[in-house]
Structures are given as C-alpha cells and as structure tokens.
Amino acid sequence: MKAVCFVKSVPDTETRVRLTGNRLDKSEIKYILNPYCEFAVEEAVRKKEAGIVDEVLVISMGPSRAQEAIRSALAIGADRGVHIEDDNLDGSDAIVTARVLVEAFKKEGGLDNYQILLFGLRAIDGDTWSVPSMIAELLGIPAVTNIVKLDINGNKAIAIRMVEGGEEVFEVELPCVFAARKGLNEPRYPSLPSIMKAKKKPITRYTISDLGIPSDAVGKVGSFTEVLEYTLPPQRQAGKKVEGEPEQVVEELIKFLREVANII
C-alpha cells in the first residue's frame, strides 16, 4: 500500500504580515511547511515505519519555495516529492488548486498506486479548509476530515473525527482522503541525518502543460473566486476607564454599551 501527502508552503506563524497597498508584501516572509500538513506527513511516515505503507509521496503546488516545504516533508521521512510549478498558477483558488493536484496525482498513477491520501485539515494562510474534500469529490472517493486517529486494517480504515462535543468514528474503505488536525500525532524533529538524506531524495517537477492543463483553466482566469484586497485587522484601541460614584459609573457604562459598543 502507498500513501500520498498533499502539502503546502505557508508563511511562518510568527510572520508579521505587511501590506503594499492592498496586496500582501511577500518580500520578507519566511515560509514553512504548513503545520497541519506536518501532521499528515508524520502520520504517513509512521504508517510506513509500521510496515503498513511502503512508499510516501509528497505533492505540492506553488512557486519555487514549495520545494522547501517538500524537502521538510522528505526530512520527516517521506520518500519522494512532486512539485508543480508554473507562473500561470499564480492567483489560483481552491478548486483550481484541487484540479491541478488531482492531475499531478493521476500522472503518478493516481488511485491505482495510492490508497491513502493525507492532507492537513487547513492551511494556515488561505484557511479555506476545502481542498481535501474537493479532491475527494473530484476523485469520487470518501473523505474523513478533522481526524485525530487513523488505523489501517487491510483494505479498511478506522478514522476518528473530532466534532463539537465528541468524536465520530468512521469505518471507510480505501482509497480515502484523510485530513489531519492537531492531536493526530506529535510530529518529530527531523534529525540531521534525515535532513541530509532529504537532500538526495528525488523531486519530480511538472508544469501545467506536463499535466495537460490549458493555461486559461488555472490562475486568476480559471478561478471562480478572486482575492480583491487584503486589509489588516483593526488596531486594538486603548481601554476606556470610567471613574466616579457607583451610580454615575453604572449609568455611563450602560450608555457606552448601548451607544458605542452596540452590545445591549
């Protein structure tokens, strides 16, 4: 059995977001492997170490920096990578991303080769939470998202999904999409020898024409949605202190809550 992890390169959680006009200023952003994708890769590698899976492939779409995310996944223990890089892809939304990833996956043998499809539940930048389910839909296979446990038994998997106030236990037939959340596992620190090994592991590169995708099917033109502008969240205002006699203070406070804060 083989596993594939779809991963994304995202800005580091400690990045200070800056804007140039209403666009993101990406010039000094440090990028990392999306932390949720790390859970996915860790899980796939553990399945390999347990002898359940014999290959872990990592697929990422994105500019050249996506390669660093792939390397990070390879350092955790994945076997090889696929990097889809093409200038035309800039501005692609979630559904276009899902379609491109599916084509790359098919190029690697698709469902004939890979039975476990792992994702991070969400990417911490775009935060659409949608690509895993979209890919499942495009491939016509089930998806269990938000999982904290995954057991593979032959052709079947038991996955535990977190829902509000409890857990749902799913038994699904493979192939299946699984989207990992925090708690699925504790990702390892990649050891130095693993980092060095990752350097030697192969990364296959595809452009959209390699995947037979026309350029007008991707990017801004091919997308249903478009990001019009970015704005920073409003700056936190300094607190307001109400002073005086209790009766007076209460009155003022109620007035504030009613007229300024619009809470009551």
Interface with other proteins (CB under 8 A): 32, 68, 71-72, 75, 189-196, 198-199
At residue 190, φ and ψ (nearest 5 deg) are -65, 125
Between 75 and 150, whose beta carbon lies closer to other proteins? 75
Q: How far is the CB of 65 from other proteins (least distance, A)?
A: 11
Q: How far is the CB of 251 from other proteins (least distance, A)?
A: 28
Q: How far is the CB of 46 from other proteins (least distance, A)?
A: 16
Q: Shortest gap between Cβ of 182 and other proteins (angstroms)?
A: 15
**Closer residue to other proteins, CB minimum distance, 186 or 216:** 186
Q: Smallest distance from the beta carbon of 142 to other proteins, in angstroms? A: 34
The nearer residue to other proteins, 27 or 231, going by C-beta atoms, is: 27
Q: Would you say 148 or 195 has its CB closer to other proteins?
A: 195
Q: Any bridge partners for residue 160, and if so which?
A: 149, 169
Cβ 196 to other proteins shortest distance, Å: 5
Q: Which is nearer to other proteins, 111 or 195 (CB)?
A: 195
Q: Which is nearer to other proteins, 98 or 198 (CB)?
A: 198
The answer to whether residues 189 and 58 touch, using CB atoms and an 8 Å cutoff, is no
Q: How far is the CB of 188 from other proteins (least distance, A)?
A: 9
What does DSSP say about strands 156-163 and 143-153: parallel, antiparallel, or unpaired?
A: antiparallel
Q: Quick one: 192 or 232, whose CB is closer to other proteins? A: 192
Q: What SS3 string covers the chain?
A: CEEEEEECEEECCCCCCCEECCEECCCCCCEEECHHHHHHHHHHHHHHHCCCCCEEEEEEECCCCHHHHHHHHHHHCCCEEEEECCHHHCCCCHHHHHHHHHHHHHHCCHHHHCCEEEEECCCCCCCCCCHHHHHHHHHCCCEEEEEEEEEEECCEEEEEEEECCEEEEEEEECCEEEEECCCCCCCCCCCHHHHHHHHHCCEEEECCCCCCCCHHHCHHHHCCCCCCCCCCCCCCCCCCCCCCCHHHHHHHHHHHHHHHCCCC
